[in-house]
Amino acid sequence: MKLLEKLPQEKVLRDPIHDFIHIQDQLILDLINTKEFQRLRRVQQLGVANTIFHGATHDRFGHCAGAYELARRVTDHFAQYYASKDADDGLWNPEERLVTLAAALLHDVGHGAFSHTFEHLFHTDHESMTQQIITGDTEIHQVLLQEGPDFPNKVASVIAKTYPNPQVVQLISSQLDVDRMDYLLRDAYYTGASYGEYDLSRILRMLRPYKGGIAVDIGGMHAVESYLVARYQMYLQVYFHPVARGMEILLEHILGRVKELLAEGEEPNSLVGPLLAPVFQPDHDLTVSEYLRLDDNLFLTAINGWQDADDTILADLSQRFLNRKPLKSIQITEQSAPHLDRLEKIVNEAGFDPRYYTARNDAYDLPYDDYKPAAKKPRTQIELVLADGSHRELSELSTLVGAIKGRASLDQRFFFPREMLDNGPDDLFTELHNDFKSFIRNDTFIPGED
Amino acid sequence: MKLLEKLPQEKVLRDPIHDFIHIQDQLILDLINTKEFQRLRRVQQLGVANTIFHGATHDRFGHCAGAYELARRVTDHFAQYYASKDADDGLWNPEERLVTLAAALLHDVGHGAFSHTFEHLFHTDHESMTQQIITGDTEIHQVLLQEGPDFPNKVASVIAKTYPNPQVVQLISSQLDVDRMDYLLRDAYYTGASYGEYDLSRILRMLRPYKGGIAVDIGGMHAVESYLVARYQMYLQVYFHPVARGMEILLEHILGRVKELLAEGEEPNSLVGPLLAPVFQPDHDLTVSEYLRLDDNLFLTAINGWQDADDTILADLSQRFLNRKPLKSIQITEQSAPHLDRLEKIVNEAGFDPRYYTARNDAYDLPYDDYKPAAKKPRTQIELVLADGSHRELSELSTLVGAIKGRASLDQRFFFPREMLDNGPDDLFTELHNDFKSFIRNDTFIPGED
Amino acid sequence: MKLLEKLPQEKVLRDPIHDFIHIQDQLILDLINTKEFQRLRRVQQLGVANTIFHGATHDRFGHCAGAYELARRVTDHFAQYYASKDADDGLWNPEERLVTLAAALLHDVGHGAFSHTFEHLFHTDHESMTQQIITGDTEIHQVLLQEGPDFPNKVASVIAKTYPNPQVVQLISSQLDVDRMDYLLRDAYYTGASYGEYDLSRILRMLRPYKGGIAVDIGGMHAVESYLVARYQMYLQVYFHPVARGMEILLEHILGRVKELLAEGEEPNSLVGPLLAPVFQPDHDLTVSEYLRLDDNLFLTAINGWQDADDTILADLSQRFLNRKPLKSIQITEQSAPHLDRLEKIVNEAGFDPRYYTARNDAYDLPYDDYKPAAKKPRTQIELVLADGSHRELSELSTLVGAIKGRASLDQRFFFPREMLDNGPDDLFTELHNDFKSFIRNDTFIPGED
Amino acid sequence: MKLLEKLPQEKVLRDPIHDFIHIQDQLILDLINTKEFQRLRRVQQLGVANTIFHGATHDRFGHCAGAYELARRVTDHFAQYYASKDADDGLWNPEERLVTLAAALLHDVGHGAFSHTFEHLFHTDHESMTQQIITGDTEIHQVLLQEGPDFPNKVASVIAKTYPNPQVVQLISSQLDVDRMDYLLRDAYYTGASYGEYDLSRILRMLRPYKGGIAVDIGGMHAVESYLVARYQMYLQVYFHPVARGMEILLEHILGRVKELLAEGEEPNSLVGPLLAPVFQPDHDLTVSEYLRLDDNLFLTAINGWQDADDTILADLSQRFLNRKPLKSIQITEQSAPHLDRLEKIVNEAGFDPRYYTARNDAYDLPYDDYKPAAKKPRTQIELVLADGSHRELSELSTLVGAIKGRASLDQRFFFPREMLDNGPDDLFTELHNDFKSFIRNDTFIPGED
């Protein structure tokens, strides 16, 4: 059945993280050349984070190519050293190679512009979109079909984690998968933060296929520790960055304001244009082809235009966003959160509509956890293989991981306009601003006594 | 007069190339926070080159910040070791610091989206635009004014190379300036090409102010050699890349086609939208404020829309561009160039309008030259300072530079649709394509005999 | 009094870790040029570890220069931003600069060849030797004297931690000092292990002098976390490496055997030569000048010669050491340790004198602890400075450090000849070897039941 | 015949340059474990250069392992993409793998301590010694024999360049071989000089076997340019470094002085010891086993002892060497060289025997040349493969290489004691020193008129 073959000579893409992305199959080359995959060049990997880490301009194309390359290296290594001899030996079946590579390459193909904000606001889901792109009326689907009529479904089921072979599923999606292994290094490289670095080549050498999925040889324990610490640090240092969140909230409020204006009767075509219109259409589920027209440029161009909007809130928020005037923030706690209305009240008095100029935002991450059958989404735990072949869960042997396991990182914040902290000579609201600031100590909201 | 002071505590931007950008002056911080400077985040440094080197997504914001940082390091070093004692000693006047830093930061602020293509097509000039932004009605102008009423003009004159102090001018613009020193390293880092690397820190230590400008201590000769070789290599490997030029030509033809459609009477607002309209308005000089609304997103969003254009050429070119189907190319020579009409004719017969589907494109660079008074734009040559204080032009002492000096790199190419090289089973034009290919040997056009 | 001045132009040493070591004072240059400091070129930083990580050939000269460079950067930063205005403000006194730099440069000048082994066997102490070199009859002492008659004592008291200014003492010796900051990066670079990397430049920017010593701005918390994790990982991965310890034990047994042979009456001059003789002289305290003749070459040359020794144990151990045949090892536990005599007995039966061919060796490290007044050597805890100037001990705010704090890493091992694991066709002791191996499971000694 | 097999699981050595050295064959593992190969740990790669670049402490073990690793990567790539189908197709014969790997690993096994100086003084030759070690009574020979009775000779003939397959010979020794490819990167990494870097992975991908040896695909031209420029720069910046040569001359004069003292009747055993004695024995050809006892430590330990020599010249030179007081130098030219006797005379008058305290030393390198049949040692030129399979010599297509081709780098110098440049308050020879210095301008000897 296979219509697509190995390339006579491998092709390479220069990659700053992995040096070269090696393309050895016509299928992979054809997938990269589809318009759906090329669209990933127009979707930034870290959304607005480049307003804080100006180097972080990288896009999802590079990340997907990188995840593919790691999958290629792992499956080659498995084929050389851990190829299955009989069906039941729990080793690697080399016939899983292409489905693994395709799934790795395509795992984020459904990501849209500013996904975090977008999905929150418009109730879409990039994983489901990825599956629709793979199985729907797309160039990607056509390419995959050439490998076999059921091949698109197989790739989609890997994304959905319903594929029968747990080794394939875990390589693409687990607590130690090619997705995370790539994006930690890539995000570290582009932000210039050194925190995301860990010993990739050692981990790749230490992965071991077994009946239940992918484990790690005990010799790789410290490398995995570094990887988890890297992940923990990147969350706290980069992904949780309060200034980036202050930009995201602006974006969310801009789109929310547009939604409201349309609900109030503004003319969609002049406000949002034809490509963006479906997004705001009430009770409309975006089609795959509508979705695929959306990219970062489209949103940023709309915001560029909205700077001239008649609605002063929309115009002001759009200017703040494009000119990088993020909302400021302070930490809040379970204790102080119920008292935020005091702050909102002052912000309101200072002339800012709290619906658009304040927000409460929680950043949450659980860096590692072992398998908890009762959990809503039980995690695939990381298992170590000892010399005699027996397995132990990582945190049993690693002090460091034991300390992280099951402990979430949480950063709860209240956002507000930076004007609230002003106190310059021309400040019209000196008293209000002083009042506001009296609630802040060490970057934290201290409500004081009632 | 100076209203803006040193910051009480320096601020830093994390930078993947220079680790940190150190901001020590309120003036610099305020310039970065202007909307004109923030716009640079939306203009990619290498235009379409990231369609070849997918890592090269970096923008002009990072480059300008980097050029500033190098200027800061050099002027600090000069102030510490080469501060002028009397007006005539040819050493560094520390009062030039701020004008130098501002000029370094702002040197590219007039760059627009896809400058190379844009300037060629619309006869604008980013250096002149930079000066207009500095001296016109902008936030940048307002910030600069606080340093003194003549300060904007001083900064603009550095860009214009008319500033009286040649040391300042040469730091910003010469064959060894902070602009090139930054972009070579930055482009190398982001493309993943190792060619652009050289020993920056050694060069920075070896720069010497003198009456006529900036020279280099003899101890830095080899570092400067490496820098020039890096430059030479980056031109040949990255900036001249034929596939990137194949993308640029698509872009140029898209915009050219729009121009033509408008000339033929298409309605501007529906075809190009309000922000882009001024660009296409005949006999209209773009105002600074119109110009500053233009960014990469705007063009890419327009092209996204043009995929649905009624005009099939515009729609097709737009799809090729967004889906990364660049024009292919072959090398041509002075001898073969006159015979290109033969190829154009075949392309035409195969159904492609040669005005939109073919192009001749020359990439040219002169990596280094010494001062030639008779040249149209005489270059500031690189001078070495010997132990006894005497000067020698670089190529007199360096074999390697002697070999490069005055020798241009030139890559002349003819571009055409990739279909011309097809020969698959469904190829309708097999004979034409074979005919076309018979003129190509070793990536070069061989016209054969008449 | 000061006879030595700033250099007119700084000198630099190229350094692979810090790019350049900047030398700005005649005093520092003169110290580097003393014969005692030059000797550090002949003492490897990691002793025998290069037999495992073959890249790790670096010497103590580079490390001392690196520690100096970090001290220079920190004190420059302090002088610029945290210079004391009155005696009691707890800020940095710029007059402490030179004593800090000299102490950083000289902090390891008393290190001898294979210090770990040497000090253990011959009851010397490199810190005490460092002080003797600084205050004794040496070129270093002469250079320091030119700064003032009491200057050598001041520098020595920094090493001894009795210097009155706790800022100076903690920069040189604490849980976050220039010594560790340099060696982690340097050892990581040379071994090729990526574990030792952390964000040095951020830490350097975040250090804050205060009355009680050196604290870290809260903004540097994550960088310090990375540093401590790096330290933890380097201990487990590099410094505790069981194969390196297998080589060290060979070295210790070689020197122990020589000691015994001399005690039995062997002629010192022919067995150890004039330079090494003082080391083995019973009841002799090494003089500074004797000590300074010792370097790695001397020991390795002696071992080279001992390969031909009449004593077969000495000859055999020497050959094993030079030809890299380390003792093998297994982990032991508190429970299993008392039963090691069983293994020793089998080794003995297989023809190896357990005194020279087996060993028990514990590797121990406590990566971080807070201040414990009751401890034998209370540690200077790492303190974070909040926005309002208040302090918090690091582990109070860092989950990660909270997990490490006070928890020692311990690796207890039993070493034996690799022959015990053999089972080749020519194995004369198959049964004994099988017996021996029956006690090992997953690299661990399992004594089984009696 | 083959007794040694592939390893069931590959072993790796961590390497800072190539990340991992992959060992897949029992033969390679056994070769590394021989005592002759382990000796390379005790021979520094760059001799005394670490007295200038203090980071450059690396040894020949790492370089040999690195050259092996490159050979492994190239031959694997060849086997995958260019495996020969019939004897005459000029492609790669996979059966050449092991002889290539063994030759790469062993190519420098005959290098001794401070080879440059040693070979010059004692008329030995490391290439010939390498062949003797491979074919003589050594552990290496025994290991190689297991691959076949003629295998040692085959490996030796690769070193001797008489092996019939030119592909194998050129991989090990040509102007683009695994030896140079490794040492340029390695020396750059350890010195911290960035000059030696080039795009290794691209070159490895672009190598092409052909009937006449190894060529490079045209796509790799710029990478090869960078490699040659790197080589050129490393020679000028590192290998020619005048201070390192000032140290080498000290070493040469020390050994020369010892030779002379022995000739004058000094007792060899007390002056040089048993291991070094054969070196100085008149008319004695070193045996392989004598040679293999020599390492850096032995020479440095001897010099350590000679500091106490009765002969004041030997003692003084030894102290200068160990305490890093190199001879100083100035450039000379063909014109000025004949007048050096004037300088020597002044040195003599200042109390330094010119035979031991002055020297003339020429550093010479020819970075690249094409094949010149008439040359004494004709070089294997680097050939590029065009798209149609035709070949062109590199400099025909590369401007940069055209500029370097056939042009030697030459640095001629005169060395003398640093005291000749002194002029301090205690200078006893002020007049003589001033006289001496009057001949120097811009680091060059200007003899002036007679």
Chains with 3+ CB–CB pairs under 8 A to B are A, C, D
Whether C116 has a pLDDT exceeding 80, the answer reads yes
* Pairwise pLDDT comparison (C125 vs A39), residue with the higher score: A39
Helix (H/G/I), strand (E/B), else coil: D17 = coil
- H-state helical runs in D307-339: 312-322
d(CA D203, CA A194): 29
CA nearest to D186, candidates D5, D56, D91, D25: D56
pLDDT exceeds cutoff 60 at D139:
yes
CB atoms within 10 A of CB B248: 24
- On the CB side of C450, CA atoms within 13 Å amount to 5
ipTM: 0.95
CB contact under 8 A, A442 and C390: yes
Which residue matches tokens 């770990």?
Answer: C116
Average pLDDT in the A338-365 region? 95
Strand pairing report for D207-210 and D213-217: antiparallel
Is residue C368 predicted with pLDDT exceeding 80?
A: yes
Q: How far apart are CA C369 and CA C385, in angstroms?
A: 18
| Contact check, Cβ <8 Å, A324/B14 | no
Which range has the worst mean pLDDT, C165-169, D90-94, D265-269?
A: D265-269
Q: What pLDDT, on the 0 to 100 scale, is given for residue D429?
A: 83
Which among B54, B190, B296 has CB closest to A13?
B54
Q: What angle do CA D70, D71, D72 make, to 5 degrees?
A: 90
Average pLDDT of chain C is: 93
Indicate if the pLDDT at residue C403 is higher than 90.
no
Judged against a pLDDT cut of 80, whether residue D225 lies above it is answered with: yes
Q: What is the predicted pLDDT for the residue at D193?
A: 82
Q: Which of C108, C89, C96 is nearest to C72 (CA)?
A: C96
* Residue A407 C-alpha, separation from nearest chain C C-alpha, in angstroms: 9
CA–CA distance, C177 with C168 (Å, rounded to integer): 10
| pLDDT tens, residue by residue, D169-220 | 999 999 999 999 999 999 999 999 877 778 999 999 999 999 999 999 999 9
3-state secondary structure of D92: strand
Which residues make beta-bridge pairs with A409? Answer: A365
Instruction: State residue C9's pLDDT score.
Output: 85
Mean pLDDT of B16-41: 97
pLDDT in tens, A62-110: 999 999 999 999 999 999 999 999 988 999 999 999 999 999 999 999 9
Q: What is the mean pLDDT of residues C364-377?
A: 88
Q: Does the pLDDT at position B420 exceed 70?
A: yes
d(CA C310, CA C301) in angstroms, rounded, equals 17
| Helix, strand, coil content of chain A in percent (nearest 5) | 55, 15, 35
Residues near D254 by Cβ (< 8 Å), separated by ≥ 6?
Answer: D303, D306, D314, D317, D318, D321
Q: Rounded to the nearest 5 degrees, what angle is found at the Cα of C149, between the Cα atoms of C143 and C151?
A: 65
SS3 of residue C439 by DSSP = coil
For residue C382, give how far its alpha carbon lies from the nearest alpha carbon of chain D (Å).
Answer: 31
What pLDDT, on a 0 to 100 scale, did the predictor assign at position C119?
A: 87
Q: Do D324 and C38 touch (CB under 8 A)?
A: yes
- Most confident of the following: A368-377, B380-389, C423-432, D401-410: B380-389
pLDDT the model gives residue B2: 58
Backbone angles phi, psi at A383, to 5 degrees: -115, 140
The pLDDT of residue B376: 85
**Residues in chain A within 8 Å Cβ distance of D20:** 201, 205
How far apart CA A194 and CA C223 sit, in angstroms, is 9
> For the sheet containing A409-416, what is the strand order?
A359-365, A409-416, A328-331, A444-445, A440-441
Which residues are CB-neighbours of D392 under 8 A, at least 6 positions away? D383, D384, D386
Q: What is the mean pLDDT of chain A?
A: 93
Calculate how close chain C gets to D282, using CA atoms only, in Å: 22
Contact C300 D304 (CB under 8 A): no
Residue B448 has pLDDT above 80, yes or no: no
- Chain D CA closest to residue C189: D16
Order of strands across the sheet that contains C359-365: C359-365, C409-416, C328-331, C444-445, C440-441
SS3 state at C240: coil
Amino acid at D55: G
In chain A the domains, ranked by start, together with CATH numbers, are 6-240 (1.10.3210.10), 241-320 (1.20.1250.30), 327-377+408-450 (1.20.1250.30)
Give C-chain residues touching A403 at CB under 8 angstroms: 399-400, 402-404
Confidence of residue D345 (pLDDT cuts 50, 70, 90): very high
- D63 and D183 in contact (C-beta within 8 Å)? yes
pLDDT at B450: 55
Mean pLDDT, residues C416-429: 84
Kindly state the average pLDDT of the residues B125-133: 94
The angle subtended at Cα C77 by Cα C74 and Cα C82, nearest 5°, is 110
**CA dist C158 → C28, C141, D420 (Å):** 16, 15, 39
Confidence of residue B122 (pLDDT cuts 50, 70, 90): confident
* CA-closest candidate to residue B188, choices B364, B41, B365, B55: B55
B297 to A293: CB separation less than 8 angstroms, yes or no: no
Contact (Cβ atoms closer than 8 angstroms) between residue D139 and residue D349: no
Span A247-297, pLDDT tens digits: 999 999 999 999 999 999 998 888 999 999 999 998 899 999 999 999 999
Phi, psi at residue A142, to the nearest 5°? -60, -45
> What's the DSSP call for residue D327?
P
Across the range C103-121, mean pLDDT stands at: 92
Q: Summarize pLDDT for B37-80 with one digit per residue, the tens.
A: 999 999 999 999 999 999 999 999 999 999 999 999 999 999 99
Q: Residue D201: which of A10, A20, A205 has the nearest Cβ?
A: A20
pLDDT at D246: 97
> What does the alpha-carbon distance between residue B213 and residue B167 come to, in Å, rounded to a whole number?
4
A42 interaction partners in chain B (CB closer than 8 Å): 300, 322
- Give me the residue from C44, C192, C322 closest to D16, CB to CB: C192
Answer for the pair B377, B366: CB distance below 8 angstroms, yes or no: no
How are beta strands C440-441 and C444-445 bridged, if at all?
A: antiparallel
pLDDT band at B116 (very low <50, low <70, confident <90, very high): confident
Adjacent-strand bridge partners of C360 = C414
Given this model, what pLDDT does residue B403 score? 81
Q: Which of B159, B180, B179, B178 is nearest to B169 (CA)?
A: B159
- Length in residues, chain A: 450
Residue-wise pLDDT for A347-357, tens only, equals 999 999 999 99
Q: What's the average model confidence in pLDDT over A110-121?
A: 89
pLDDT digits (tens, 9 = 90+) for C222-237: 999 999 999 999 998 9
Residues in chain D: 450
For residues C293 and C125, what is the distance between their CA atoms, to the nearest angstrom? Answer: 16
pLDDT tens sequence across C246-264? 999 999 999 999 999 999 9
For the packed helices B296-306 and B268-280, what is the interaxial angle rounded to 10 degrees?
150
Task: Report DSSP letters for B330-398, one per residue.
Answer: EE--TTTGGGHHHHHHHHHHTT--HHHH-EEEEEEE-------TTSSS-----EEE-TTS-EEEHHHH-
Q: Are strands A213-217 and A383-385 parallel, antiparallel or unpaired?
A: parallel
Closest CA to B365 of B172, B111, B130, B175: B175
Share of chain C above pLDDT 90, in %: 81
Identify the CA nearest to C159 among candidates C169, C144, C149, C146: C169
3-state secondary structure at position B255: helix
What's the mean pLDDT in C342-353?
A: 95
The answer, as to whether pTM is greater than 0.90, is yes
Tell me what percent of the residues of chain A surpass a pLDDT of 70: 99
> Which of D54, D185, D194, D289 to mutate to probe the C interface, most C CBs <10 Å?
D54
pLDDT computed for residue D314 by the predictor: 98
Cβ-defined contact of A226 to C233 (cutoff 8 Å): yes
In this complex, the chains that touch A, judged by 3 or more CB pairs closer than 8 A, are B, C, D
For chain D, give the percent of residues with pLDDT over 90: 81
CA contacts within 13 A on the Cβ side of C66? 27
**What is the Cα–Cα distance from B231 to B198, expressed in whole angstroms?**
9
